[in-house]
Amino acid sequence: MSTPLIEIKDLHVSVEGKQILQGLNLTINEGEIHAVMGPNGAGKSTLSNTIMGHYNYKVQSGSIIYKGQDIKDMTADQRARLGIFLAFQYPTAIPGVSLGNFLLACTRSVRGEDSVKPLPFRKELFAKMKELGIPQEFAKRYVNEGFSGGEKKRLEILQMAMLRPSLALLDETDSGLDIDALKVVAEGISRELAANNTAALVITHYQRLLDYVKPQHIHILAGGRIVESGGPELALQLEKTGYDDIINKYLK
Amino acid sequence: MSEKNQEIKDIGNSYKYGFADAEDYVYKSGTGLSPRLITEMSRMKGEPDWMLHNRLKAYEVFMSKPMPSWGPDLSGVRFDDIHYYVRPSERPAVTSWDDVPEYIKNTFDRLGVPEAERKHLAGLTAQYESEVVYHSIKSNLEEKGVIFLDMDSALREHPDLVKKYFGTVIPMTDNKFAALNTSVWSGGSFIYVPKGVKVDIPLQAYFRINAQAMGQFERTLIIADEGAFVHYVEGCTAPIYSQDSLHSAVVELIAMEGARIRYSTIQNWSTNVFNLVTKRAHAYKNATVEWIDGNIGSKISMKYPAIYLLGEGAHGEVISVAFAGKGQIQDTGAKIVHAADNTTSNVLSKSISKGGGQASYRGLVKVSGDAENVKGNVRCDALLLDGISRSDTYPTMLVSNPKVRIGHEATVSKVGDEQIFYLMSRGLSESDALAMIINGFFEPFAKELPMEYAVELNRLIKMEMEGSVG
């Protein structure tokens, strides 16, 4: 369990000329679950987008070593094929493309064309949809078009389930969910992480998702750096004190 | 970002059908059009006198009509530099591929035409330059009285039927290019479907231009008698040359009471072809006419399939897509005339522009003053792949009766970085991601095509994306 899956060293990232991450360090070992918390604008989404390889996020210095190689010059699809997955905070609609066809294309691309046959794929897809409480007919609907916020989040986890990543970046997957929806999504996440020994970087503002996903490590991101790290107790403490102390201590 | 922009720029730059055959023709006219050429050509075809007179009259109309004063700049069309009549073979259209000259057969093989015929067509005409070189129809349809011939053969074998309907939907005086076509038409299809007969499998025509500076002027007339149904599909390609060719067809459809005609086009001319086409349908009581119109190729296309809803309860549908790449202008649209009570229409136009290409929707919905309970809807969606391309919408509504419902909606969107990133984060390459977004955009059109053509359309788009990946 102690083999490093991803090691981020002294990472500096800018977005549209604006400096966001300023010397971030983070190591996640295989199968470990880490949570990153922090106030708005701290750089949480920048971190997940940078690891995934969004072209608007420019790495100025530092390194991202994943499975032993520096991936910082790789495109997002190359990273996806190496086992990195990002569950989006705001999944984008792709009108006219059915979820089923989209998932077949993605699954083939990530797992390999030859290892994904249409019939077993359908069986697996429908089984996973059932587990996540997603109606089967959603497979015919267009990707992220006309779905509620909660449905979109479930569909993100469905994609994760099909792509079986080694590292899942979950960007505020709990936002916009009511208690019941949160339970279904969070249980789905826990189940899928365990099934594939997937490591996770869970980005959230709130404790409630962590009650289900149970990270071993909590990091607090502020001003583009990780300013504190600890065990689950750190999240509980934050829940009581809020971010004011952090902001006062590191950002003033 | 720069890499991505480069890829987007390259979409549509690969044209697979640009190969050409050496010319080995029985007859090739010099450049330019004259009454002498028209007379000579009509004699060669052995036409009845009325057709020759019709042609010569149309020539006068063509000469006297001005170029359209609206739309794209057509000053590049040089009427005097065009070869108007090219006869590739001595024989009229044959019914066995073995009798088609070897090199022409090879070309159609390369285009996959005979294969498509074997697999999923009830009949086919294949036109090469000015003449149809091959035609076929399944014998069970012939037994039911369905006529499917090239227009020249139809004029020989069914002169009365042709004379009765020819030019009744699109008169020679309609516009300059309709007059040009009427004066020098050659080839095209003639279809007559008798009362109550439903042709369940599509009939297809394939048009190939081979020579440089060639003019192709096919003439198509489809008549579906009461309660009949026919689906007609046309495709077309040409080699890439520096000198421009002109394709100017006239297509007339007549749907009698309760009949339905569906006319599907995948236009994929090379980017040195001016495609100036007049297409119009008459729909009588409770009849339905559907134009499914895909414009991928050509230099400039001007095409506005029209439906005149002449009988009560008639329905018209125009679903079109246009792809305007570098140097291309797709000026397309639809024209619907509601001339009777309870008529309904639907227009869906989708366009994609890139590399400085221009796609315009130009449409007209007209309701006659006394037509009651008329419903019509127009929707135009444009997708821009970069910042240098254009999309314009010119909708015209002429409605004098306040009791009609005509809706219009238009959207313009850009392929977003977020869409591309989303798909790439799921393991799809940038070009696959773009192809998927574009296929999705075209989906409402593609789902109206027969399966094989939808697959072909997807393949075309995918191919154009793949050509871009360095």
* Mean pLDDT of the region B366-394: 91
pLDDT in tens, B159-191: 999 999 999 999 999 999 999 999 999 999 999
> Can you read off the two tokens belonging to residue B181?
């076509």
Residue B463 has pLDDT above 90, yes or no: no
Q: Please, what is the end-to-end C-alpha distance for chain A in angstroms?
A: 38
Residue A151 half-sphere exposure toward CB, CA atoms < 13 A: 16
pLDDT in tens, A5-56: 999 999 999 999 999 999 999 999 999 999 999 888 889 999 999 999 999 9
Whether A109 sits inside 8 A of B439 (CB atoms) is: no
pLDDT in tens, B294-337: 998 899 999 999 999 999 999 999 999 999 988 999 999 999 99
Give the model's pLDDT for residue B465.
52
Give the model's pLDDT for residue B469.
31
Residues of B at the A interface, defined by Cβ within 8 angstroms? 1, 4, 416-419, 421-430, 432-433, 436-437, 439-444
Give the model's pLDDT for residue A205.
83
Residue A240 has pLDDT above 90, yes or no: no
Whether A77 sits inside 8 A of B444 (CB atoms) is: no
A223 touches A38 (CB < 8 A): no
Give the distance from residue A243's alpha carbon to the nearest chain B alpha carbon, in angstroms.
Answer: 30
Domains and CATH numbers, chain A: 4-92+149-251 (3.40.50.300)
Helices (H), B45-95: 49-64
Does A17 contact B at CB distance below 8 Å? no
Q: What is the mean pLDDT of chain A?
A: 93
pLDDT band at residue B462 using 50, 70 and 90 as cut-offs: low
What is the spatial distance between Cα A174 and Cα A176, in angstroms, rounded to a whole number? 6
Give the model's pLDDT for residue B454.
76
The per-residue DSSP string of A36-77 comes to EE--TTSSHHHHHHHHHT-TTEEEEEEEEEETTEE-TTS-HH
Nearest to B311 by CA among B261, B377, B259: B259
Give the model's pLDDT for residue B458.
72
What is the spatial distance between Cα A173 and Cα A208, in angstroms, rounded to a whole number? 11
Residue B23 has pLDDT above 90, yes or no: no
pLDDT in tens, A159-197: 999 999 999 999 999 988 888 889 999 999 999 999 999
* Closest CB to A77 among B417, B424, B437: B424
> Can you read off the two tokens belonging to residue B51?
């057709």
Residue B455 has pLDDT above 60, yes or no: yes
Burial of B439 (0-12, 13-18, 19+ CB in 10 A): buried
Helices (H), B111-215: 113-120, 139-143, 151-157, 159-165, 176-184
Give the model's pLDDT for residue B1.
38
Residue B468 has pLDDT above 70, yes or no: no
Residue B6 has pLDDT above 60, yes or no: no
pLDDT in tens, B326-364: 899 999 999 999 999 999 999 999 999 988 999 999 999
Q: What angle do CA B76, B78, B79 make, to 5 degrees?
A: 145
What is the spatial distance between Cα A129 and Cα A139, in angstroms, rounded to a whole number? 9
Give the model's pLDDT for residue A242.
83
What is the spatial distance between Cα B450 and Cα B430, in angstroms, rounded to a whole number? 29
Q: What is the ipTM of this complex?
A: 0.96
Backbone φ, ψ for residue A237 (5° rounding): -65, -45
Residues 6+ apart with CB under 8 A from B9: B354, B355, B386, B468
**% chain B with pLDDT above 70:** 94
